[in-house]
A = this chain, B = another copy of it.
């Protein structure tokens, strides 16, 4: 991994075949498309990649496919999402073997966790895996947040190489960015936002990179947004962000689908339907086999057309 991770890093969806297996051909195509569009790295096995729905064997298939498809053009970050340290370590070892450039781990979940326990968790992963480690702050999934004090301590110790922030709390993120600069850590600790609707503001606040789920569908849009921001063309960045925000409505297309679909399933099915309509992947189902009904597919098609992608 680059000492300093920057730019657009799509958290890759995991395509499935009709019989529920990892669709490695489609996955390789997704990787190639992202890198061709200018992504600086890819992130496999994140929340968007439905990693929590994959068996260990399927996770390994995903990682092998992505590493091979990236073919050294860009680093591959690997999610090692699991409930506790010992289980994360299993994934971490597999990811290292598969050629990941860095690991991305959440706090422990299911059981409650104290910040001191969370810090110990990251220390053990870092110590065992021999790879740069990013903390993944995603309170909506793990039901605890990563306190700034913990992150700063681990950054100073060299345990953490960065943060993927999916908290949605840009105010807290700004305080963290400021504290990192005060401690001279801004060049050794990368802050990446996973909030795909506020990328312009997050870049203005100082984040180094972006991990946008919607970047699976429109990596070129996010790369343009990033380049506008880096070049100081802020109104152009905001206009690009607005276009992407309109497109983001595809995450709601599945709402109300009988017999009932969670928000996260709707978002995933929306992403995959879009990728299917764009011809990137072969089949639009989620890991549990959910697909959008035809009216929702039409909504997704309309949104893609509105964004200039169809």
Q: Please report which residues of chain A, range 133-185, place their CB below 8 angstroms from some CB of chain B when the two chains form the complex.
A: 140-143, 168-172, 174-175, 178
CB distance A110 to B109 under 8 Å? yes
CB distance B200 to A171 under 8 Å? no
Is A81 close to B, CB under 8 A? yes
Residues of chain B within 8 A of A245, CB atoms compared: 174-175, 178
Residues of chain B within 8 A of A111, CB atoms compared: 47, 52-53, 141, 262, 264-265
Query: Given that A110-B142, A204-B201 are known contacts, is A84 also in contact with B287, CB under 8 Å in the complex?
Result: yes
Residues of chain B within 8 A of A198, CB atoms compared: 170-171, 174, 201, 205
Number of interface residues of A (CB under 8 A): 67
Q: Residue of B at shortest CB range from A89?
A: B55
A117 partner, pick from B142, B200, B262, beta carbons under 8 A? B262
Q: How many angstroms between the C-alpha atoms of A84 and B268 in the bound complex?
A: 15
Is A3 close to B, CB under 8 A? no
CB distance A235 to B238 under 8 Å? no
Query: Given that A174-B197, A174-B245 are known contacts, is A141 also in contact with B110, CB under 8 Å in the complex?
Result: yes
- A243-287 CB contact bits vs B (8 Å, 1 = yes)? 001101100000000011111110000000000000000000001
A259 partner, pick from B116, B200, B242, B264, beta carbons under 8 A? B116
CB distance B175 to A197 under 8 Å? yes
CB distance B55 to A90 under 8 Å? yes
Q: Please report which residues of chain A, range 218-254, place their CB below 8 angstroms from some CB of chain B when the two chains form the complex.
A: 232, 234-235, 237-238, 241-242, 245-246, 248-249
Query: Given that A87-B52, A170-B198, A288-B120 are known contacts, is A204 also in contact with B142, CB under 8 Å in the complex?
Result: no
Is A293 close to B, CB under 8 A? no
Residues of chain B within 8 A of A232, CB atoms compared: 234-235
Query: Given that A52-B83, A110-B52, A205-B201 are known contacts, is A178 also in contact with B242, CB under 8 Å in the complex?
Result: yes
CB distance B113 to A262 under 8 Å? yes
Q: How many angstroms between the C-alpha atoms of A172 and B251 in the bound complex?
A: 13
A205 partner, pick from B81, B115, B200, beta carbons under 8 A? B200
Residues of chain B within 8 A of A206, CB atoms compared: 238
Q: How many angstroms between the C-alpha atoms of A101 and B143 in the bound complex?
A: 33
Extra 14 A-B pairs, beta carbons < 8 Å, given A52-B111, A117-B265, A175-B249: A47-B110, A53-B84, A53-B111, A109-B110, A111-B141, A111-B264, A113-B262, A114-B262, A115-B260, A116-B259, A168-B169, A198-B205, A204-B204, A204-B237
